[in-house]
Amino acid sequence: MPSPLRNGDTPLPAEAGGPLHRHQGRHFLSSISEHKVRRLIALILLLRLAAFCFSLSAAIFMSTNSSRSPASPSWLRFHPFRFVFAANGIVAVYSLFEMGASIWEILKGATLLPESLQLWFDFSHDQVFAYILLSAEAAGLTEARGKACVWAAERESGGFCVQSYISVGLGFAGFAFLALSTLLSAFRVASYIITGSSFHF
């Protein structure tokens, strides 16, 4: 048996590999993992914010692309422009919800929904809405280059085409940030499948 400590002696630190050392190692690795998770969620939050801003701006630009005069061009006359407005509006609302979920996760350290449900919800909806948004912007761009601008030119409303292009361009930017969010959502799902938790790296 080791001799008891005498008065004034200082206990030696635990040897490498001992219980104390292993506990400190686990705590250190856990702190690193938590730091990485917070950075990942913060990055996702920034992408959600960018997608929200661009999609909302695209919807606003499209909804105001008209005049009170019945003879003037209006986005409501063209189905692709209606699609652009609806798709960007839906993505803006979805991005706002996801921003709230990310803020909740940063503050609480847990997902808003059960972890597996939240990860698959984010991944699946990111893909669906990204596809819808891309389809809407492609249709809007085709319409802007086609009969919409011809119709506007006949009424000497060149600003109608310019605002249509701006709306479609903002929508494409929103799609780009939503696509990046989809990649990070896919990474979290893959991490969950491999390790059983999205919080392991």
- pLDDT, tens digit, 9 for 90 and up, residues 131-168: 999 999 999 888 887 776 766 665 556 577 888 889 99
Whether the CB-CB separation of 143 and 81 falls below 8 Å is answered with yes
d(CA 181, CA 187): 10
Whether the CB-CB separation of 106 and 45 falls below 8 Å is answered with yes
Read off the pLDDT of residues 51-102 as tens digits, 9 standing for 90 and up: 999 999 999 999 888 755 555 667 778 888 899 999 999 999 999 999 999 9
Whether the CB-CB separation of 157 and 108 falls below 8 Å is answered with no
